[in-house]
Homo-oligomer: A and B are copies of this chain.
Amino acid sequence: MIAHQSSFRLSTQGNTDIIDITHLVEQIVRESGVTIGIVNVSCKGSTLGITTLEYEPGAVSDLRRVLDQIAPPNQFYAHNARWGDENGYAHIRSAMMGTVKVFPVSDGTLRLGTWQQIVLCDFDDRPRDREVTVTTLGEVG
């Protein structure tokens, strides 16, 4: 059993930019040498989310629209009133979606569906640099 940890950085446009990070996670899982186990995909911060989605423009725009209904950018947020920020909606979306997911690893690869990609959703109201941490635990060889 080992625990292997690596990270990668990416730049986002913010404003619910939804980015497919599957291949970057897959590469780190391969580097870890873990054949059976789990992989934790996590990003620091309180204005982003990590989840899975069929990564095609239709589903991406649908997810944006539903999130706009759950926590609209342009309504009152006590967070904004208190701090002069405009990203109150982003904090709520992040708390609802979560900033981390954990997937099984089988035969040395991510166990995901064909139409299922791991996405980082950057809810913040401006471009951001993000660091995604990938921790793989399991049996090797």
Q: Is the CB of A92 within 8 A of B62?
A: yes
Q: How far is the CA of A126 from the CA of B126 in the complex (A)?
A: 40
Q: Which residues of B contact A112 (CB under 8 A)?
A: 44
If the complex has contacts A95-B52, A137-B137, are A40 and B100 also in contact, measured as CB distance less than 8 A? Answer: no
B98 touches A78 (CB 8 A): no
Query: Is A133 interfacial (CB-CB < 8 Å)?
Result: yes
A111 at the interface (CB under 8 A from B): yes
Q: A109 near B: Cβ within 8 Å?
A: no
116-141 of chain A: CB within 8 A of chain B: 116, 119, 133, 135, 137-139
With both chains docked as a complex, state the minimum distance between the C-beta of A23 and any C-beta of chain B, in angstroms: 17
State which of B56, B69, B70, B98 has its C-beta within 8 Å of the C-beta of A51. B98
Inter-chain contacts of A102 with B (CB < 8 A): 38, 40, 42, 100, 102
Supposing A3-B139, A94-B52 touch, asked if A115 and B57 sit within 8 A by C-beta, the answer is no
Contact B2 A59, beta carbon cutoff 8 Å? no
